[in-house]
Amino acid sequence: LRGRGSWRCGGTVILGELGLGNLDSQWKPVVCPAFRDRTLKAIACGGAHTLFLTDNGCVYATGLNDFGQLGVSESKHYSVEPLCVFGEEKKVVQVSAGYNHSCAITVDGELYMWGKNTSVQLGLGKRAPNIVPLPTKVEYLNGINIKMAALGSDHSLAISDGGEAFSWGVGVSGRLGHGHESSILGFFKSYSEYTPRLIKDLEGIKRLKAMSDATKPSLIGELPSSKVVCGGYHTCVLTNQGPFLKSSVSQLSCGWKNTAAISEGRVFTWGWGGSNGTFSEGHGSDVDYINPTRVCFGEDVKALQVSCGFNHTGAILEYA
């Protein structure tokens, strides 16, 4: 292979999320044949599906589609090959995958959501159905230029070009950042948000007292951080000081119980190696790694991006 943007993936295949044209799980990274002649800009690994963004702004999806998370049709239960979803009419600049839902941001800052909506995680309002199988514009964000989005299992967040943060979906445990709401019986209760709601405590630059049971944004500590990523049971903070092994980290991603990082174009993974074939570390086994361990892709290969899903991990590589 020569050129830029080849996709390699590894992990358990539930129903085609690796996009290899079959249902075989992969112990080690394998090139996805669907993108041999295309250049990939970004990838996003979800629960059991994967989104691909090409350099011309088109979105492709593969894997499980039981809740319409592929964005193609509710009648198609899964796909083992990447299908064109979105971007032919409007160029897409970013994609994000939650556990059972997906999103895309267009070049003009519009946010489109699709997939599971039983927890109102799509932000389409009270009347929206439980399954939205096709990309649907979030009308409640009209007039707001969205630059970034992140999806969890039952909630979603978006950032505007002005730095405003919006959240919606299930508000259990204060995950939306709006604080507690008191119920009639006096117990604290966090309500769900059917549409995007501005997180007021993140307006401007504020320093808040850290709390162990915080339901509003709080300052954990003053770190020289440049990025924060969250997994199923862990959080990683990427600082702008100090080396990672021998060099600094350029990109970071957290999965269900594992983490992947890119340093000097090389991919390192650590954490849960899996069980019963859920080997998402890419080292050819289901052994747990407590220290960052390099994933071998061969010589003259540079990793551009890495993404961890629930039980699978993928990377975009550049071949010399």
What confidence tens digit (pLDDT) does each residue in 170-205 have? 988 788 888 765 455 555 555 789 999 998 887 764
pLDDT of residue 198: 93
- H or E segment and range at residue 123: none
User: How far is residue 293's CA from residue 240's CA, in Å, rounded to a whole number?
Assistant: 21
| Choice between 236 and 123, residue whose per-residue pLDDT is larger | 123
Weakest-pLDDT range from 47-51, 73-77, 105-109, 304-308: 73-77
User: How far is residue 113's CA from residue 41's CA, in Å, rounded to a whole number?
Assistant: 20
Q: Per-residue pLDDT averaged across 140-162, rounded?
A: 94
Q: Per-residue pLDDT averaged across 139-146, rounded?
A: 97
pLDDT of residue 44: 94
298: Cβ contacts below 8 Å, ≥ 6 apart? none
User: How far is residue 70's CA from residue 63's CA, in Å, rounded to a whole number?
Assistant: 7
pLDDT band of 245, cuts 50, 70, 90: confident
- What is the DSSP code string of 292-303? EEEPP--SSEEE
115-138 pLDDT tens trace? 999 999 999 999 999 999 999 999
pLDDT of residue 301: 85
User: How far is residue 61's CA from residue 45's CA, in Å, rounded to a whole number?
Assistant: 10
pLDDT of residue 181: 58
pLDDT value at 18 more than 80: no
Domain count, the chain: 1
pLDDT value at 89 more than 80: yes
Q: Tell me what the pLDDT averaged over the chain comes to.
A: 80
**Is the CA virtual torsion 83, 87, 93, 95 positive or negative?**
negative
Q: With contact defined as beta carbons under 8 Å apart, do 267 and 315 qualify? A: yes
**What backbone torsions phi and psi does residue 54 show, to the nearest 5 degrees?**
-85, 170
3-class SS of residue 139: helix
pLDDT of residue 288: 81
pLDDT of residue 172: 82
| Choice between 215 and 13, residue whose per-residue pLDDT is larger | 215
pLDDT of residue 234: 77
Domain containing 205 equals 5-319
Write the single-letter amino acid at 125.
Answer: G
Weakest-pLDDT range from 20-29, 81-90, 271-280: 271-280
3-class SS of residue 308: strand
| Choice between 37 and 177, residue whose per-residue pLDDT is larger | 177
Q: Is the pTM of this model over 0.85?
A: no
pLDDT value at 211 more than 60: no
Write the single-letter amino acid at 236.
Answer: C
Q: With contact defined as beta carbons under 8 Å apart, do 301 and 317 qualify? A: yes
5-9, 240-244, 261-265 — which one is most confidently predicted on average? 261-265
pLDDT of residue 290: 83
pLDDT value at 160 more than 90: yes
pLDDT of residue 313: 86
pLDDT of residue 25: 61
- What CATH number corresponds to the domain at position 125? 2.130.10.30
> In the Cβ-directed half-sphere of 295, how many Cα atoms lie within 13 Å?
36
pLDDT of residue 177: 87
